[in-house]
Amino acid sequence: MEFIVKSGTPEKQRSGCLVVGVFESRKLSAVAHQIDEVSGGAIGAILRRGDLEGKSGQTLLLHNIPNIPSERVLLVGCGKEKEFNESRYREVTGKAVTALRDTGASEITTYLTELEVKGRDIAWKIRQAVEVTEASLYRFDRLKSKPNNNRRALRRVVLAVPKRSDLGTGEQAIKEGQAIAESVKLVRDLGNLPGNLCTPTYLAEQALAIGKQYGLKTTVLEKADMQQLGMGAFLSVARGSRQPPKLIVLEYQGDKESEAPVALIGKGLTFDAGGISIKPAANMDEMKYDMCGGASVLGAIKAAAELKLPINIVGIIPSSENLPDGDANKPGDIVTSMSGQTVEVLNTDAEGRLILCDALTYAERFKPAVVVDIATLTGACVIALGGHASGLLANNDQLARELANAGKYTYDRAWQLPLWDEYQKQLESNFADMANIGGREGGTITAACFLSRYAKNFKWAHLDIAGTAWKTGKEKGATGRPVPLLIQFLINRARKDGAETGT
d(CA 338, CA 309): 32
Residue of 55, 279, 459, 471 marked catalytic: 279
Of 256, 377, 407, 240, the C-alpha closest to 320 is: 240
From its phi and psi, is residue 340 left (phi > 0), alpha (psi between -120 and 50) or beta?
left
Torsion of CA 296, 297, 298, 301, to 10 degrees: 120
DSSP per-residue codes, 339-365: TS-EEEES-TT--HHHHHHHHHHHHGG
Q: Is 353 a catalytic residue?
A: yes
d(CA 300, CA 250): 11
d(CA 20, CA 10): 9
Torsion of CA 95, 97, 103, 106, to 10 degrees: 170
What is the CB-side half-sphere exposure of residue 222 using CA atoms within 13 A? Answer: 1
Of 216, 392, 390, 218, the C-alpha closest to 309 is: 216
**Order of strands, edge to edge, in the sheet holding 342-345?**
333-336, 342-345, 434-435
9: Cβ contacts below 8 Å, ≥ 6 apart: 34
d(CA 267, CA 378): 12
Q: Facing residues of 75 across strands? A: 20, 60
d(CA 476, CA 483): 18
- Please say whether the dihedral angle defined by the alpha carbons of residues 485, 486, 490 and 491, taken in this order, is positive or negative: negative
Residue of 353, 413, 453, 493 marked catalytic: 353
Q: Which H helix or E strand runs over 60? A: strand 59-63
Other CB atoms within 10 A of residue 53 CB: 13
Q: Is 95 a catalytic residue?
A: no
Residues designated catalytic? 279, 353
